[in-house]
Amino acid sequence: MPLKTLIVERHDAVTLIRLNRPEALNALNNELLGELSGVLDAAEADEGVRCLVLTGSQRAFAAGADIKEMSDKSYAQMFMTDFFGPAARRIEQFRKPIIAAVAGYALGGGCELAMLCDFIIAAETAKFGQPEINLGVMPGIGGTQRLTRFVGKSKAMDMILTARMMDAAEAERAGLVSRMVAADKLIDEALAAAAKIAGQSPLAVMMNKELVNAAYETTLSTGVAMERRLFHSLFAFDDQKEGMAAFVDKRPAKFTGT
Ligand code: CAA
pLDDT in tens, 154-186: 999 999 999 999 999 999 999 999 999 999 999
- Percent of the chain having pLDDT more than 70? 100
Atom in ligand 1 nearest the alpha carbon of residue 131: 44
CA 19 to ligand 1 center in whole angstroms: 15
| Atom number in ligand 1 closest to CA 130 | 46
- Residue 68 Cα to ligand 1 midpoint, Å, equals 9
What residues does ligand 1 touch, defined as CB less than 6 Å away?
A: 24-25, 27, 63-68, 84, 105, 107-109, 112, 131-132, 134-135, 139-141, 143
pLDDT at residue 12 in the model: 98
Q: Go through the chain and tell me how many residues it has.
A: 258
Nearest CA to ligand 1 atom 10: 24
Q: What was the pLDDT predicted at 184?
A: 98
Summary mean pLDDT of the chain:
98
Position in ligand 1 atom list of the atom nearest CA 134:
44
Rounded distance from Cα 25 to ligand 1 centre (Å): 7
pLDDT at 1 over 90: no
Kindly list the catalytic residues: 65, 109, 112, 132
Question: What is the distance between the alpha carbons of residues 92 and 209, in angstroms, rounded to a whole number?
Answer: 11
Residue 31 near residue 5 (C-beta atoms within 8 A): yes
| One-character DSSP codes across 69-138 | HHTT--HHHHHHTTTTHHHHHHHHT--S-EEEEE-SEEETHHHHHHHHSSEEEEETT-EEE-GGGGGT--
Q: Which whole number is the average pLDDT over 63-82? A: 97
The pLDDT of residue 83 is above 90:
yes
Mutate which of 5, 21, 25 for ligand 1 pocket (most atoms within 8 A of beta carbon)? 25
pLDDT at 45 over 90: yes
Contact 48, 55 (CB under 8 A): no
Question: Residue 77 Cα, ligand 1 centroid: separation in angstroms?
Answer: 22
Tell which atom from ligand 1 comes closest to the C-alpha of 24.
Answer: 21
Q: What mean pLDDT do residues 125-153 have?
A: 98
Q: How many A from CA of 6 to the centre of ligand 1?
A: 18
Average pLDDT over residues 208-233: 97
Percentage of the chain modeled with pLDDT above 90: 100
